[in-house]
A and B are shown apart, each in its own frame.
Chain A
Amino acid sequence: MDKLEIKNLHVCIENEETKQRDEILKGVNLLLRTGETHAIMGPNGTGKSTLSETIMGNPKYQVTEGEILLNGHNILQDSVDQRARLGLFLAMQYPVEIKGITNAEFMRAAINARRPEKSPMSIREFLSDLDQNLALLNMPESMADRYLNEGFSGGEKKRNEILQLMMIRPKFAILDEIDSGLDIDALKVVAKGVNTMASPDFGTLMITHYQRLLNYIHPDQVHVMMDGRIVKTGDASLAEKLEAEGYAGLRDELGIQVDLVDDDQIANQGGQAS
């Protein structure tokens, strides 16, 4: 069993306009083991994406306090690619488009980056894996030969993130709003992909606004984030309660002094701190 442990994590981001450093995470604690599925929910602007990007090592986010431990090893000094090879995977909210690199070529490079240089995955094995996963995600084979995310629809990009997840087979996957922009049918397909990964050697951290995703990927634990902290942890029923009562109800119940940011303001910040 592998363990991803986040201890008292404080993270800042530099505001591009004011050049001031804003503290987004204010002491997050979390323990995720392989074999478990966790969900983090919370209103916009509470630091959910900051948490996922910080775990992956996005240089935009500065850790000012605390640690992130993978099986006891603090990964904060490790580069993004080292963290990935240690077994972390982030399905991104906004995957970038890269012209000139095919999906298949990219995924092969990612898989082989985890293997000894002398024994890359055979093309035959790679293609058979790829075909199987494409079929499971209802993606046409031609997706493999298209340039990485280039011209993909929102739904295709999300599926492509899950395709990479299935090909790379990390220890821990962080799914950052994998449900946003998906219709019900696409959501089911994406969930099916994530669910086939379920094993005692794989842990999932889902970040979402909506309880809907949890109908298809069942969490063992649900954490609610507000104002840069995890304020409540429970089982799947917590998500249902939130869906019924909204975040404001929980805020008042816990007596947290925080304004809930609405979507318009988030859009103005480019969604960076959502």
Chain B
Amino acid sequence: MTTLAQSIEMHTDWPARLLPQAPKWLAEFRADSWQQALNQQPPRFPKIDYRDWPLFDLKAIPPHIDVPGNLVRKAQAVVTLGRKTIKIDLPADLIAQGVVVCDLEEAMTTRAALFEKYFRKCFSNKAQDGLALWQAALVNSGLFIYIPKNVHLSSALKILQLQDSRQEENFINLMIIVLETGAQAEISQEVSTLGDCANAADLRTVIFADADSTLTYTVLDTLSAKTSAHIYRKSQLDQDARVQSTFVEMNQGNVVSEFYSDLLGSGSNAETKVVAITAGKQTQGINTKITNYARHSVGNIVQHGVLLDESKLVFNGIGRIIKGAHAAYSQQENRLLMLSEFVQGDANPILLIDENDVIAGHAASIGQVDRQQLYYLLSRGLTKSKAQSLLVKGFLAESLSEISDKAIADYAIFLIERSLFNG
């Protein structure tokens, strides 16, 4: 295991090596970020200790290897494998309306100005933490999605991204989603691992929701047991923008996640739902934060987690209201269901409020399966494992039933049942 500082000292020229085709501004930006990262620590999160995870091990850059042919036939419009784009099938009418869906490499060349503007915005915070600088310096794959003013996507844009762990390789991925004023879209994304190598993954999505835009963003993460990952997803909302995110975390390895929304415009509305299952000896630590900067902004966090075996799951729910955000609303719910006596669960609601005339609240619970409910189901002949799986589904239903991409919802339920029957 290497620390961030050790990694930088050992691999000074890696920002350039990982993306040799970067234009000059980007090459400089990456080199600068790499230098700055030397003096920065990875952020600390309550109750989540990931210092021992191999997130900063850099692997020799392997050549591209063959792409399995069946990936092209996947149902999703966009399919990527590691650093490689397998397909992007965008309907002609969307292209005609100016919608852009392309990989980073293409965005750098054919959409140079637009891409530069948003890439810089992705990493514009003055006080960058070590993880952000690592990303900024090393990102080696990703997607750029741009939906112009008032364009409405009539059907969901479905994306499949596979980490290529058929060999040792770093997967440092950036997705930029831009919705201009009045744009509307539904994006669903599945992130998974192909292959059995132990690798690190670093995923970042940054969403820019301009005024009056609406985005429904659903992600199912199923990274492998041998993947240690850091996942960062953030949305910035302008006036009256609305972003509804659902993150279904069914990774099998250790994952630390940051799910953030900044309500910058008055009347903006963000809802973040998280469903997580942990099993085996894995740890998932999830930090979900909504910051109300603007008046009449609305933030809702709903997190439901189920723990099996000897796993650990932490939900930090953070509702922050900045001074001046009059009539802001911040609500959160963090619930954990423990199915084994050897698990470790933490649900930490944190409210940081600097304004008076606001509505804020939280609910948290940690518990086991309700004995009366279990008895009722058993008394009708259901086996204990079937009864438990129904109760878990019931527990997660509030979040899962609202996923509009039925394929993702069904697959998530299938994975829940599989993990319960294995246990």
Chain A residues within CB distance 8 Å of chain B: 56-59, 79-81, 84-85, 89-90, 92, 95-96, 98-101, 105-106, 109-110, 113-114, 147, 164, 168
> Within 8 Å of chain A (Cβ to Cβ): is B383?
yes
Partner of A110, one of B370, B373, B382, B396: B382
B420 interface residue (CB < 8 Å to A): no
Scoring A59, A81, A92, A109 by chain B CB atoms within 10 A of each residue's CB, the highest score goes to: A81
Residues of A within 8 A of B398 (CB): 99-100
B399 → chain A, closest Cβ, in Å?
10
Q: Is the CB of A101 within 8 A of B381?
A: no
Question: Is B379's CB within 8 Å of the partner chain A?
Answer: yes
Closest chain-B Cβ to A83's Cβ sits at a distance in Å of 8
Does residue B72 face the partner (Cβ distance < 8 Å to A)? no
Q: Is the interface of B mostly helix, strand, loop or mixed?
A: helix
Contact B384 A81 (CB under 8 A): yes
Which residue from A56, A58, A59, A113 sits with its C-beta under 8 Å from B386? A113
- Tell me whether A81 and B383 are in contact in the complex, defined as CB-CB below 8 angstroms, given that A96-B373, A106-B377 are known contacts: yes
The 8 Å CB contact of A100, one of B372, B376, B380, B395, is: B395
Tell yes or no: B397 within 8 A of A by CB. yes
**Chain A residue contacts of B384, Cβ below 8 A:** 79, 81
Which residues of B (342-392) have their CB < 8 Å from a CB of A? Answer: 370, 372-373, 375-384, 386-387, 390-391
Contacts of A89 in B (CB 8 A): 379-380
Given contacts A96-B373, A113-B386, contact A84 B393 (CB under 8 A): no
- Do B375 and A80 have beta carbons less than 8 Å apart? yes
Return chain B residues, CB-CB under 8 Å to A56.
379
* Contact status A81-B394, CB under 8 Å: no
Beta-carbon nearest neighbor of B383 in chain A: A81
B383 and A100 within 8 A (CB):
no
Q: Determine whether the beta carbon of B395 is less than 8 Å from that of A81.
A: no
Q: How far is the CA of A81 from the CA of B376 in the complex (A)?
A: 10
CA distance A56 to B394 in the complex (A): 24
Shortest C-beta distance, B200 to chain A (Å), equals: 35
How far, in whole Å, are A164 and B376 apart by their CA atoms in the complex?
12
Closest CB in chain B relative to A4 CB, distance in Å: 16
Contacts of B373 in A (CB 8 A): 96, 98
Residue among B372, B386, B396, B397 making CB contact with A96, cutoff 8 Å: B372
B378 and A84 contacting across the interface, CB-CB below 8 Å: yes
A residues near B370, Cβ cutoff 8 Å: 96
Q: Mark B383-423, 1 if CB is under 8 A from A, else 0.
A: 11011001101111110010000000000000000000000
Residues of A within 8 A of B390 (CB): 101, 105-106, 109
Of A56, A79, A110, A164, which is in contact with the most chain B CB atoms at under 10 Å from its CB?
A110
How far does the alpha carbon of A147 sit from the alpha carbon of B384 in the complex, in Å?
A: 20
CB distance from A197 to the nearest CB of B (A): 16
Residue of A nearest to B400 (CB): A100
**Are B391 and A98 closer than 8 Å at their CB atoms?**
yes
Residues of A within 8 A of B381 (CB): 81, 84-85, 110, 113-114, 168
| Cross-chain pairs A/B with CB under 8 angstroms, 7 sampled | A57-B379, A84-B378, A84-B381, A98-B391, A99-B397, A105-B390, A113-B380
B403 to chain A, nearest CB (A): 14
